[in-house]
Amino acid sequence: MTPRLHPFTTLTLAVCAAVVTTAAAYWPLSVAVALAAVILAARHGIAGRVLTAGAVILTPLCLSLLVLHGLFFPEGQTVLAQWGPARVTAEGLGFALELGTRTTACVLVFLLFSFTVSVPDLVSALAGRRIPPQFGFVLASTLTLLPAVAGRLDRIRQAQETRGMVGGRGLLSRLGTLRLQMVPLVLALIDDAGSRAQALDARGFGSPGPRTSYREVADPPAQRLFRAAALVFAAAAVAGRIMASWPAGAAS
């Protein structure tokens, strides 16, 4: 079994991977990072979840990139096809590919992080760094919100079906069903939040001042060193990128 990584180590890794990929702006690297994220997800047994969530986020994004840059790229010289004002240029497609793979890599890396990180460890680590506990709570709630919303939506659907609602298979019918579920979902979530807020207040959550942490998260020196090195590497990558493009930017 691999030794457990401190949440800050995995977070640093994710941030550095995203920064370096962005700084390099080299699509083969982006593809390699994205593939590495998928392989790691598969090893954790969460490839399905990461890819599904990734598809939901990336499909519309990549399509819009393709339409925006593939069809309308003013700097494009090599015209592959043209319909009125819309021109498909090789440069435009290249740019869309560059941007698309880079975004895909970043999104997959952060999804991998959010699906693998131990939320309690992360919150506890954040509290230990004197980061306001409210921040940690919001972060933890955000990461646990999706399952909570899915659970609540499931219960509303069951309640509605129990009273005669038959969900159709068509898109329109599904949208209609979803519309019926959205209002109760939002109201229920607000109501839950309201009742929980009173309990949180009573348990001293809103009060200012220092906090302690019951949960101890091991942070071996080797991991601290590794994080520092990774951050230096990422900073170097950004610096290198700026230096590489500076004269070109100044000359143009």
Q: Write out the residues near other proteins by the rule CB under 8 A.
A: 118-120, 123, 127, 133, 137, 140-141, 144, 151, 154-156, 158-167, 181, 183-184, 187-188, 191-192, 195-196, 198-207, 209-216
The nearest distance, CB 181 to other proteins, in angstroms, is: 8
- Residue among 144 and 245 whose Cβ is closer to other proteins: 144
**CA dist., res. 88 & res. 73, Å (int):** 8
- Residue among 159 and 239 whose Cβ is closer to other proteins: 159
- Residue among 202 and 243 whose Cβ is closer to other proteins: 202
Tokens of 30: 């982006």
Please say whether the beta carbons of 91 and 76 come within 8 A.
yes
Give, as one character, the DSSP assignment of residue 208.
-
- Residue among 47 and 119 whose Cβ is closer to other proteins: 119
**CA dist., res. 128 & res. 88, Å (int):** 53
DSSP string over 133-172: HHHHHHHHHHHHHHHHHHHHHHHHHHHHHHTT----SSHH
Residue 28, SS3 per DSSP: helix
The residues, ordered by sequence, that sit 6+ positions from 116 with a Cβ below 8 Å of its Cβ are 10, 44, 46
The nearest distance, CB 13 to other proteins, in angstroms, is: 22
Torsion of CA 110, 114, 118, 120, to 10 degrees: 110
The nearest distance, CB 228 to other proteins, in angstroms, is: 27
The CA-to-CA distance between both ends of the chain, in Å, stands at 54
- Residue among 17 and 122 whose Cβ is closer to other proteins: 122
The nearest distance, CB 135 to other proteins, in angstroms, is: 12
The nearest distance, CB 65 to other proteins, in angstroms, is: 35
- Residue among 22 and 141 whose Cβ is closer to other proteins: 141
The nearest distance, CB 49 to other proteins, in angstroms, is: 13
